[in-house]
Amino acid sequence: MGNSRRLRRAAALTALFFRDRGANIGVTFAIALLPILAAIGCATDYSMAMRLKVKLQSAADAASIASIAVNSAGYAAAMAMTSDGSVSAGVAEADSIFKGNASTIQGYTLTAESSTVTKSGASLTSQVQFTASMPTTFLGVIGFPNLTLTGRSSSSVTLPLYLDFYLTLDVSGSMGLPSTTAEAQRMQAISPDNYRQYPTGCTLACHFSPQNSACTDSGTQGYPTNNYCLGYAISRVSQSGYKSLLTTNKNYPKGVALPSTIVSGLPNSLYNKLPTVANCPTDGTDACIQLRLDAVGYAVNQLFTTANNTKKVTNQFRIGLYPFIRYLYSYYPLTTNISGSTSDSTTINYAAANLATLLDTNTNASLGSGGTHIDTALSSVNNLITSVGNGSATNNTLPYVFLVTDGAQDPQVKGVPNGSWSGSNHATTINPATSCTPLKNRGIIISVLYIPYQPINPVNASFAGDEDDYANNNIPNIPPSLQACASPGFFYTANTPADITSALNAMFNHAVSEAHLTR
């Protein structure tokens, strides 16, 4: 009886236990508490790890960027390299910058770090990699005492290229014309040259000096000049001063004359009498009459200023002056020293400013005399450029040819000095296929600055086999021939001295930007 009661009571208690659901929440929470705590711990450790990785990644980014920045040791070392490869100075700088920045960060151990800085052509690339260990708090309970953090940063920069500029400059007779219409009118008002053939006033009759049959007292001059072609000399002296020297003399076609004491000693007697300039950088001044080559020389010096302001590294640009008449003349070969004084005769700046002194005087055997041989000049430049690099190093320069001309080719020749004339004096144009294509086929950019040939007016059809009409009729053919010579997009025209300066600067900037886009 007693046992039966106990069994019934036990059964009732068991049934009551299973019917009572109140205690299940506590049991379930107790069972679930451990994974919840583990998840919270994992999230906390992981969040700390991510914040730490971001800081280390920032240190790596700073190192990869700074190691190839323009003012960095790695950048300078890469620019000095003459071949591709690892840049040790950049590696050392990247390592130093990363470790310096990383040392300010707490809560980790750096287990590995490596940097590479490599130059390949005009590209400089820096890579920084790291591995770090961070101790955990909660994850350690479940067997993960540390978390491994890794990161990598890569940066690259295009290096400035080393460029060579061959300024191929027309210094033939027509480039000695006054630079503007106003300057030409000033010259016509006082020049005695060839007055009997051009009584409206000659701009610059001829350039053969000191004495030449083209400027004879008995045959052509407006007043006695001791057979001297006076146009160039007049352009170098004070204009008001020159006018003051002229005296009225109705016996001569121009109605004026210079004192005999000056005529007998031309041109030195004139230079000794009046304020004289070596060059004329500005038009419209009393000090001189600006010639086309004066304007070109001034523009070339402005190009030097642009190049100096543009360069990113020392000796990035080399520029040379190569004038031509019959021959190409290495007047001032390639140099990186383009910041000299225009008054220092040893500098390229002085040489550029005084381009007008190279006008055809029938005395310079290096330039030859007579016509304008543009085809010959370009062929000579092609021979002068012995290698065409990609601009990645000082021994792997990328060449550009800048042709500055009025485009009127004249195949005539005059023997130097005071030799006879030969060949046709009828103006024509260049042959791009033979003179320009060989350069372009080698990967050399030809940039052309066309200074328009001015029509001769009035025409003297009886003079020199009607060369005036041939010259005028040739003018429409000049622009297309020069444009065919120029590389695509590299043809420029300049009508005024200001245009010449702007165009030369545009040509330079175009060359620098084009080099970076295509190399």
pLDDT confidence bin for 41, thresholds 50/70/90: low
Report d(CA 515, CA 316) in Å as an integer: 13
In a domain, 201, yes or no: yes
Residue 190 shares a structural domain with residue 258? yes
Residue 57 shares a structural domain with residue 149? yes
The single-letter DSSP state of residue 412 is E
- The neighbouring-strand residues paired with 166 are 320, 401
Domain closes at, from 230, 245, 273:
273
Mean pLDDT, rounded, for 199-206 = 66
Give yes or no for residue 317 having a pLDDT over 70.
Answer: yes
In a domain, 62, yes or no: yes
pLDDT tens digits, residue range 47-83?
899 999 999 999 999 999 999 998 899 999 999 998 9
Residue 136 shares a structural domain with residue 196? no
Residue 118 shares a structural domain with residue 188? no
Tokens of 194: 């060839």
Residue 114 shares a structural domain with residue 51? yes
Residue 376 shares a structural domain with residue 233? no
Q: Where are the alpha helices (DSSP H) in 406-465?
A: 432-435, 437-441
pLDDT tens digits, residue range 421-470?
899 888 999 999 999 999 999 999 999 999 998 887 778 888 778 888 88
Residue 102 shares a structural domain with residue 51? yes
In a domain, 19, yes or no: no
CATH number, residue 427 = 3.40.50.410
**Pair type for strands 398-405 and 109-120:** unpaired
In a domain, 239, yes or no: yes
Give yes or no for residue 310 having a pLDDT over 60.
Answer: yes
Between the alpha carbon of residue 292 and those of residues 52, 126, 286, 474, the distances in Å are: 68, 50, 17, 20
Residue 147 shares a structural domain with residue 169? no
The single-letter DSSP state of residue 229 is -
Residue 302 shares a structural domain with residue 242? no
Mean pLDDT, rounded, for 234-241 = 96
Give yes or no for residue 19 having a pLDDT over 80.
Answer: no
Give yes or no for residue 205 having a pLDDT over 70.
Answer: no
Tokens of 240: 């008001």
Total domains in the chain come to: 3
**Pair type for strands 317-324 and 332-335:** antiparallel
In a domain, 12, yes or no: no
Domain closes at, from 125, 158, 191:
158
List the one residue out of 170, 171, 184 whose CA is nearest residue 455: 184
The single-letter DSSP state of residue 488 is T
**pLDDT given for residue 119 in this prediction:** 94
Give yes or no for residue 346 having a pLDDT over 90.
Answer: yes
**138: Cβ contacts below 8 Å, ≥ 6 apart:** 37, 38, 40, 41, 42, 44, 45
Report d(CA 3, CA 10) in Å as an integer: 11
In a domain, 13, yes or no: no
Domain closes at, from 123, 158, 193:
158
Residue 216 shares a structural domain with residue 195? yes
Alpha carbon 340 to its chain's center: 18
Tokens of 493: 């025209």
Q: Which domain holds residue 204?
A: 181-273
pLDDT tens digits, residue range 244-260?
999 999 999 999 999 99
Report d(CA 376, CA 242) in Å as an integer: 39
Give yes or no for residue 321 having a pLDDT over 60.
Answer: yes
In a domain, 108, yes or no: yes
Q: Which helix (H) or strand (E) holds 92?
A: helix 88-102
Give yes or no for residue 109 having a pLDDT over 60.
Answer: yes
Residue 148 shares a structural domain with residue 172? no
**pLDDT given for residue 290 in this prediction:** 96
**pLDDT given for residue 298 in this prediction:** 98
In a domain, 23, yes or no: no
Residue 125 shares a structural domain with residue 170? no
